[in-house]
Homo-oligomer: A and B are copies of this chain.
Amino acid sequence: MRRSFEDMKILLRQQNIKLSHHRLKVLEYLAKHHIHPTVEQIYDDLHKEIPTLSKTTVYNSLHALANAGLVRIITIEDNETRYDLEVEPHGHFKCERCGIIFNFTIDIDKISTNELNHFEIREKSVYFKGICPTCLQQVKDNDYWRIGI
């Protein structure tokens, strides 16, 4: 499912989604930075490069790209929506301490259950939460024996 930038452009053209400069920049940002950014992050970073960019346009672009099936919306926490390029099915692990979201591979088919035999499944999401190795190490170094987040 990982696509080249050119493939993505073709997909957008097929769906009559205009390849505006700003839209391509958002797409390029997601392709370059696999950090599951928030709208805020994307806006802040791109704004440095494109001072005229507005947050509305970032929203518009992400929605357009999500509708085209190129971008996946990630909602682990209720107060922050994150975005990622749509790639092979994978799980997301969010560190409760540093906030970074890590990908991990999963065999998504193993999760299926015959209880859902008569359901039409369109999207499968697997979200874990906890503490990442880096934060575990930092906590250990600081002699905290219990992590209060």
Contact = CB atoms under 8 A, between A and B. Distances in A.
Contacts of A75: 75-78
A5 interface: no
Given A81-B78, A116-B104, A111 B126 contact: yes
A136 interface: yes
Q: Is the interface of A mostly helix, strand, loop or mixed?
A: strand
Contacts of A133: 118-119
A46 to B, nearest CB: 21
Interface in A115-143: 115-116, 118-133, 136
A76 B122 CA distance: 14
Contacts of A131: 119-120, 122
